């Protein structure tokens, strides 16, 4: 299992956009991304550094493995 990197919310969004996610809306400090097929919606906080548990939950909701996500960075 790969180690999760310490990244910001915006870097996370850029990585998710490579898999088909797009920015649906921005509410306060949270970015809501959506993918059409297969349908998925994730909320990414716009923080300088995401907590490891938060990042792990985002990756899980996007139906990615940690290794796949690290390759997108």
Q: In the numeric block, which tokens belong to residue 71?
A: 């390759």
Whole-number Å distance between alpha carbons of 10 and 58: 13
pTM above 0.85, yes or no: yes
Tens digit of pLDDT for each residue in 6-30?
A: 999 999 999 999 999 999 999 999 9
Looking at the DSSP bridge assignments, the partners of residue 27 are 30
Confidence grade of residue 2 (pLDDT, cut at 50, 70, 90)? low
């Amino acid at each position: 299992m790969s180690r999760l990197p310490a990244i910001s919310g915006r870097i996370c969004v850029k990585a998710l956009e490579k898999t088909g996610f797009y920015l649906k809306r921005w509410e306060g400090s949270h970015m809501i991304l959506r993918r059409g097929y297969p349908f998925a919606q994730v909320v990414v906080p716009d923080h300088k550094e995401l907590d490891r548990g938060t990042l792990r939950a985002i990756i899980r909701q996007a139906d990615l493995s940690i290794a796949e996500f690290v390759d997108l960075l």
